[in-house]
Amino acid sequence: MPRRVTSALPNQFGCGIHNTLARSTMSQLSYVGADTSSPWHTYLSQVDRVLPYLGPLARWSETLKRPKRALIVDVPIEMDDGSVAHFEGYRVQHNLSRGPGKGGVRYHPDVTLEEVMALSAWMTVKCAAVNLPYGGAKGGIRVDPKKLSLKELERMTRRYTSEIGIIIGPQQDIPAPDVNTNAQIMAWMMDTYSMNIGGTATGVVTGKPLHLGGSLGRVKATGRGVFVTGREAARRLNLPLEGARIAVQGMGNVGGAAAELFVQAGARLVAVQDHTGTLVNPNGFDIADAMAVLKRDGGIANYREAERIEDEAFWDVDCDILIPAALESQLTPARAARVKAKLVLEGANGPTLPAADDVLAERGILVVPDVICNAGGVTVSYFEWVQDFSSFFWSEDEINLRLDRIMVDALKKIWDTADRHRISLRTATFAVACERILIAREERGLYP
């Protein structure tokens, strides 16, 4: 029987939650919804797929299906017009077996507890996949930050940080940027936490500005990791990067940096989709012009040297490498059936539904999954945290070199596991990561 939680639940789940839960055999958690395409359900079905490969460790697998700790906070702020607004914020620590929690903070109107749970769980898997000494965590506020003034954004960030301050810290849980959060927001978070403890704790967040203990190479690290894993996968597929056609959904921090590196390596950017529209140019975008338009407008729509097409037609574009780097649940089975690429690089977290994974596999399309593909960001966040502790900072070349090595080694181990068991790279990544997580769980034992 599902465990019943009757404490005040956030409005997002509305009524009918217990009926929903009675039907929810996958999760047994009473705060998740019925939508089986939700990110948390996607994560749970990914865990189910790895169980046969965990041997005796599988007895601990329930650990993976429950967040260790989830905090819901009310974030009230005074608006510039004198009114008071309340926002709902979350911080979820999915698993701390291997070290402090690590994971970004997202500001988006669609953020829910369930989404944050899934994102925190993927962080657990991701950190273990690249063997960083971290558990997984994630945070978020349900807000459209574009509707706030800079001062309102700062007040909201500071109040949120103060509210989650009881569970974060350099040795406990270290937030970082995610969708719609950036180095300035990390600076406010670091300052607020520091004021509350009466010191300066640079290691409480990563992705900070360089003057405040940030790391060189952090901003582009996730995109660089996407490029490195893509380069290795393309090599194994005998797909030359020179002339390869790439299509990118989401030209932000991740997709934009990855696109630049692929173009530098000789690839052609033939399609871009972002929140402002979908553009194609089979001859290739001029990446410098495209980046300038993005910087100026915050969206690709006004880039001139490309044809605008229907958003849904993005999934039909003729390309060799597809990079979903925007939001979750983008590749549905119907879209997966239309993809022309030979290789999908998951820059975003959770962009592919499990049923779409099956469609892509049946069609012989290789997917490098998020939990390894976009691990470059957290890897350089780890470098930043280490540099903050030692107060000794590395050069950008050193950082990029170490990042490259970690990503290549991690992908090789995952690839060997996939070959050995004849499983997908996603299940292999989960196998490598979950083994590490559950060994830590077993060696620590249960308290009391």
Q: For the CB of residue 370, give the shortest distance to ligand NAD in the complex, in Å.
A: 7
Q: Residue 298 is which amino acid?
A: G
| The only residue of 39, 89, 99, 347 in contact with ligand NAD, by rule CB under 6 A | 347
Part in contact with ligand NAD (CB under 6 A); list of ranges 128-136, 253-261, 357-365, 426-434: 253-261
| The only residue of 97, 192, 206, 253 in contact with ligand NAD, by rule CB under 6 A | 253
> By CB under 6 A, what part of segment 14-53 binds ligand NAD?
none
Active site residue 412: no
Part in contact with ligand NAD (CB under 6 A); list of ranges 80-88, 141-149, 173-181, 357-365: 173-181
Q: For the CB of residue 380, give the shortest distance to ligand NAD in the complex, in Å.
A: 9
Q: What angle do CA 342, 346, 352 make, to 5 degrees?
A: 90
Q: Which is nearer to ligand NAD, 301 or 355 (CB)?
A: 301
* Interaction between residue 273 and ligand NAD (CB under 6 A): yes
* Interaction between residue 406 and ligand NAD (CB under 6 A): no
SS3 11: helix
Q: Which is nearer to ligand NAD, 100 or 140 (CB)?
A: 140
Q: For the CB of residue 382, give the shortest distance to ligand NAD in the complex, in Å.
A: 12
Give every CB contact of residue 185 below 8 A, 6+ residues apart in sequence.
105, 153, 157, 177
- Token digits for 133? 């000494």
Taking the C-alpha atoms of residue 128 and residue 124, their distance in angstroms, rounded to an integer, is 6
Taking the C-alpha atoms of residue 317 and residue 125, their distance in angstroms, rounded to an integer, is 31
> By CB under 6 A, what part of segment 49-88 binds ligand NAD?
none
| Count of beta carbons in the 10 Å neighbourhood of residue 36 | 16
Part in contact with ligand NAD (CB under 6 A); list of ranges 7-15, 63-71, 273-281, 412-420: 273-281
Q: For the CB of residue 106, give the shortest distance to ligand NAD in the complex, in Å.
A: 7
Q: Quick check: 80 and 114 in contact, CB under 8 A?
A: no
Q: Which is nearer to ligand NAD, 49 or 275 (CB)?
A: 275
* Interaction between residue 326 and ligand NAD (CB under 6 A): yes
Pick the catalytic residue from 126, 138, 220, 342. 138
Binding mask 359-388 for ligand NAD (x = CB under 6 A): ---------------x--x-----------
In degrees rounded to 5, what are phi and psi of residue 309?
-125, 170
* Interaction between residue 275 and ligand NAD (CB under 6 A): yes
Q: For the CB of residue 8, give the shortest distance to ligand NAD in the complex, in Å.
A: 28
Taking the C-alpha atoms of residue 190 and residue 201, their distance in angstroms, rounded to an integer, is 7
* Interaction between residue 349 and ligand NAD (CB under 6 A): yes
Taking the C-alpha atoms of residue 257 and residue 262, their distance in angstroms, rounded to an integer, is 9
* Interaction between residue 277 and ligand NAD (CB under 6 A): no
Number of residues forming the site for ligand NAD (CB under 6 A): 24
Q: For the CB of residue 249, give the shortest distance to ligand NAD in the complex, in Å.
A: 5
- Token digits for 410? 């991690």
| Count of beta carbons in the 10 Å neighbourhood of residue 314 | 24
HEC string for 307-372: EEECHHHHHHCCCCEEEECCCCCCECHHHHCCCCCCEEECCCCCCECHHHHHHHHHCCCEEECHHH
Q: Which residue is nearest to ligand NAD (CB)?
A: 252
| Count of beta carbons in the 10 Å neighbourhood of residue 8 | 7
Nearest to 411 by CA among 241, 232, 220, 223: 232
| The only residue of 201, 327, 345, 367 in contact with ligand NAD, by rule CB under 6 A | 327
Give every CB contact of residue 408 below 8 A, 6+ residues apart in sequence.
228, 232
* Interaction between residue 325 and ligand NAD (CB under 6 A): yes
Length of the chain: 448
| The only residue of 161, 180, 215, 329 in contact with ligand NAD, by rule CB under 6 A | 180
Site residues for ligand NAD per CB under 6 A:
177-180, 222, 249-255, 273-275, 299, 325-327, 347-349, 374, 377
Supply the residues annotated as catalytic: 138
